[in-house]
Structure formats: C-alpha cells, structure tokens
Amino acid sequence: MKAHLSSLLTQAAANIGADISQINLILERPKSAEHGDFSSNLAMMLAKPLRKNPRELATSLIKALPQSEYIAKVEIAGAGFINFFLNTQSKQSVIGEILQQGALFGRNDSGKNEKVQVEFVSANPTGPLHVGHGRGAAVGDCLARLLDANGWDVTREFYYNDAGAQIDNLVISVLARAKGIATDDASFPENGYRGDYIVDIANAYLAKSTVTADDMQVTASGDLNDTESVRAFAVAYLRHEQDLDLNAFQIKFNVFSLESALYSTGKVENTVQNLIKSGHTYEQDDALWLKTTDFGDDKDRVMRKTDGGYTYFVPDVAYHLDKWNRGFVRVINEQGADHHSTITRVRAGLQALDVGIPPAWPDYVLHQMVTVMRGGEEVKLSKRAGSYVTLRDLIDEVGCDATRYFLAARRADSQLVFDIDLARAQTNDNPVYYIQYAHARINSVLTQWNGEISSLKGVNLSPLNMPNEAKLMQRLSEYPEVVSDAATELAPHTIANYLKECAADLHSYYNDTKFLVDDTSIKLARMALISATQQVLKNGLDLLGVSAPNKM
C-alpha cells in the first residue's frame, strides 16, 4: 500500500509539472487515526523549490492524483500534510495477501541478493560463552535473519582470537591445574583462568582425550612439557564447548575464521607491507606507526611494537581486507561496546590500503552489558565458569526461546536487565509467553473449527467491520514495513516490539469476540483474520529465532 501511494504521489507531482526525482518521498503512518492511514509532507518539500504555498500545492497534488480503488478520501492538514484515508476493502486486502504468501509475507528483495557478511559472537576460545556473548549471538543471528528476509545473500561468520596473551594465560592455567595447583595457591598464575572448566580441560588432557571442533580434531599428548600440545588441545576443547553452547542456542555459522591463520598464511605480514608501500606509515622510537590521523583518528597508532609484535588492530585490518577480497559488498560486525575504540583505527587501516574500500566500511552494531537478576538480586557468578554468568546457565534456567527473545528485545546499544523470574513466568507480563500464547490461542480456535486453511483465501471479508478487527488488520498491514525498517536500521528489537503489539491486538480481539458463530460468512471471515494473524506472528517469531507453539 505504501508503494502504491508513493506511485500515486509521483504521478500527481508529474501531472503538475514538479520534478521529485531528487526528493526523498516520505509516507508515514499518523499516530492518530483521525489523521488518516498514511500522511505525506510532499507539498511542504516542494514549496521552496516551486516558490508556492504548501497548502496550495497540497490542493493541486490532490486534484492531480490518479484514481485508486483503495482510497476513501484525501485531506489536507496543518501546514500542508496530505492525509490518505483507506477504504475498508483496502484494509481487508492484507488478509488475502498473507494467506496467499504465507511464510513469504513480509519478505522483500531490496538486498538484490548482494553479499553481506555478519560477524558475531567471535569469542576468544578461553572459556564458556558468557551472557554478553549470548546477547551478541541473539542480536547477530536476528540481524542475519532480517537481512535474509530483505533479499541479501547472508554469510554468518565467527572469528576466533586464538592467538595472543589470553591464549598464553589459558595454557599456563591448564598446566597449573594439571599439576594439581589450586587457584588459591600462591604459585597459581596471577592472570590465570580460575573456573572449574579449566580442571575439566586439564583432566581431559592428562587422559589423552580427543576433541573435535568445527574444522579440527586434536588428541592430547598428555605431556605437561609439551606446551604446544596443551595449547592446541585447550583451544580445540573450548571451541567444542562453545559449539555446544551455540547449538543449544540454535545458532549456526557458515564460516569459522582463525586469527592464527592470518599469521600462518602471511596475510598479516602482507597487509603490513602493503600499508608501508601505500606511504601511510612511519617509524619512530623503534616502532612502526600508521598515520590513522589521516583518516579521522585522534592520534596515530602503533602497528609494530618495539619487541617486533603487532598491536591487536593489525590482524583486524588484515581480517577485514580478507573479507573485502571475498567479495562482501557489506560487512556488519556485531560486537560488545568495548570494541568502540577499534572502529576508527580498523577503518583507517582499510582506507590506508588504497584498494577502494568505502570509508564507512564495515558497519558496526555494538551491544551494551547485560545484568542478570533473580529474586530481585543480581546474579554474578556461574558454578562452572566461576567469574561470570554463562549463556548455558540462562538457557538451562529459562529455555532457548525466552533467552533469545529477552536478549534481542531491547536496542543493542542500551543496557539490558535480564530478569530470570520474569522470563520463566507463564503470565502476560512475560512478553515472549504473551506472544507465543497469542499464536497458540489462534491455533486452538482453528483446531475447533476444523476447516481447511486453504479454503479461507477467497472468503468474503466484508463482515469484518468491528473497530478491533480494523485495528488488527491495520497492525498486520504494517508488518512488511517493520521488517524493511528493522533491516535498514539494523534494529531487530523493533520486530520484538511489533510482535508484542500485534499479540495485544489479538488478545483484545479474542477476549471480545465469538469466532465459531452460526453465521457462516462471519465465521469464515474471522477465521481468515485470525489465521492471517497467526501467520504474521509465526513469521515475526522466526526472525527472532523463537518458536511458535500450537499449544501452551
């Protein structure tokens, strides 16, 4: 409908001799029903270039509008807003569209099948996934689902930082526990990992166990003098553990990338040499620097330290160059807020390569911290991890559906309080229960009706004339727009908000209405409406990776 009205306004502008090719034509849904179903400020946008009064222009545009079977009336409001009021037939038409398109309703091809990569989670293989990783997993996977629904060719990628000081600390921690050194012993490494999972790794290593992770299988030598064997086994063990966490969270990746591979294949060194050749580096104080100030940074950054090692953003630049070379038109990194400082320097490094990478490439979605609450008190520790709450803890407590919904239901850049008691509650206060219950309620009615859903596609919808039916149909018609906007704004939480509002409209309708009435025309029209609502709820829940149960 929005596209239809935009076409009408474009034709109307042409009919009065106005060129709007350079104007961003905006159609919005007014907050108040008295202002119509859609509103446009086109007349006010044309007023200055045409040197005419906006209300006068609005009048001319309305007179020049082509005829439409969907419009009941058009009015001018305020300084020159053009308000469209749709007729009942147009509002009811969405039901037929939903029943005809089914799972495809709300999807579009705006991405034109171009390649986009979404990198998310990307946890160091030094321990179980914590609740912060869980938020990244939920938001990242929802972003991937949204982009797919908007016609992009999506690749989900997990990047392992399996090189550097944190892995060194993992190795010495495993060795200490394998030697029987307790965490409270003075000889235990100061920066070592103290969770019980380190004991599990140490015992498995001593038992010469074999572990299998995504693209590797490692058998422990059991030799405590073989630090490389300890390193390989510990990393593989924790990658396998993280795989189990992700499987429990129903997250699937297309690609797993290793930081260590960037070194072993020479990509880091090649990137550094190319930056030197581009003329954007200099040496000072026995270190190699990148002129990141040439690209908007507040100061230049060290690339190669005096000891010969590279700073952490250098492999990041090499990794993103690799993404570019793999043909991704767009890259979106979903990461924790602590990555904010790396954005400018990674982009600066990519610009300094002079290979045609756009200045704002890649995109970033940064999520804030999660506070876990139970019984009104903050939960800070995991029995297994020791120092933090794990993703598996939450899934075990409240289930996958509630965990995914709660972690994705707020703006990523806002802090999140995860209330375990609320997530477990089977009441209307729990939003995920409230939405799923709406789906199950509809299924109960349709089961009692016992008719063929396919037979509803052509039913007469004219009996749907009650205010709560009009409100529900209006809500359903908004869904494709919500899906499109959520992808554009990289904001999956808007899907969660929409589903909550749609469920509220359904519950209100359900509580006030009898469905299995004697009048066949009314009964079938209402069956069509709730069946369409059920489909939209299911489609939206799927974008969040949440199930749509038929019984609760």
pLDDT digits (tens, 9 = 90+) for 187-218: 999 999 999 999 999 999 999 999 998 778 99
Instruction: Look at residue 33 in the predicted model and tell me its pLDDT.
Output: 80
Instruction: Look at residue 19 in the predicted model and tell me its pLDDT.
Output: 86
Q: Are residues 334 and 310 in the same domain?
A: yes
Percent above pLDDT 70 for the chain: 100
Q: Which domain holds residue 185?
A: 165-249
Q: Are residues 72 and 99 in the same domain?
A: no
Q: What is the pTM of this model?
A: 0.92
pLDDT of residue 386 exceeding 80, the answer is no
Residue 551 Cα distances to 341, 421, 502, 546, angstroms: 47, 22, 19, 15
Residue 448, domain member (yes or no) = yes
Distance CA 65, CA 10 (A): 9
pLDDT (tens digit, 9 = 90+) per residue, 445-474?
Answer: 999 999 999 999 999 999 999 999 999 999
Instruction: Look at residue 490 in the predicted model and tell me its pLDDT.
Output: 98
pLDDT (tens digit, 9 = 90+) per residue, 464-521?
Answer: 999 999 999 999 999 999 999 999 999 999 999 999 999 999 999 999 999 999 999 9
Inter-residue contact 396 to 390 (CB < 8 Å): no
pLDDT (tens digit, 9 = 90+) per residue, 1-15?
Answer: 888 999 999 999 999
Amino acid making up residue 72: A
Residue 410, domain member (yes or no) = no
Distance CA 130, CA 70 (A): 51
Residue 184, domain member (yes or no) = yes
pLDDT (tens digit, 9 = 90+) per residue, 103-131?
Answer: 999 999 999 999 999 999 999 999 999 99
State the residue for tokens 């309703």: 105
Q: Are residues 104 and 62 in the same domain?
A: no
Spell out the residues 6+ positions from residue 286 whose beta carbon is closer than 8 angstroms to its own. Answer: 306
Name the residue with higher pLDDT: 203 or 24. Answer: 203
Q: Are residues 440 and 532 in the same domain?
A: yes
pLDDT bin (cut points 50, 70, 90) of residue 31 is confident
- For 334, the token pair is 């979903």
Distance CA 218, CA 236 (A): 7
Inter-residue contact 497 to 478 (CB < 8 Å): no
122's torsion region: left (phi>0), alpha (psi -120 to 50) or beta?
left
Q: Are residues 279 and 344 in the same domain?
A: yes
Alpha helix positions (H), 65-130: 88-101
Instruction: Look at residue 163 in the predicted model and tell me its pLDDT.
Output: 86
In the three-class reduction of DSSP (H, G, I as helix; E, B as strand; rest coil), residue 45 is classed as: helix
Domain tally, the chain: 4
Q: Are residues 220 and 278 in the same domain?
A: no
Instruction: Look at residue 409 in the predicted model and tell me its pLDDT.
Output: 97
Q: Are residues 215 and 182 in the same domain?
A: yes
Instruction: Look at residue 34 in the predicted model and tell me its pLDDT.
Output: 85
Residue 401, domain member (yes or no) = no
Mean pLDDT of the chain: 95
Instruction: Look at residue 330 in the predicted model and tell me its pLDDT.
Output: 97
pLDDT of residue 368 exceeding 80, the answer is yes
pLDDT (tens digit, 9 = 90+) per residue, 34-44?
Answer: 889 999 999 99
pLDDT of residue 387 exceeding 90, the answer is no
Q: Are residues 73 and 104 in the same domain?
A: no
In the three-class reduction of DSSP (H, G, I as helix; E, B as strand; rest coil), residue 247 is classed as: helix
pLDDT of residue 384 exceeding 80, the answer is no
Q: Are residues 68 and 96 in the same domain?
A: no
Q: Are residues 434 and 522 in the same domain?
A: yes
Residue 28, domain member (yes or no) = yes
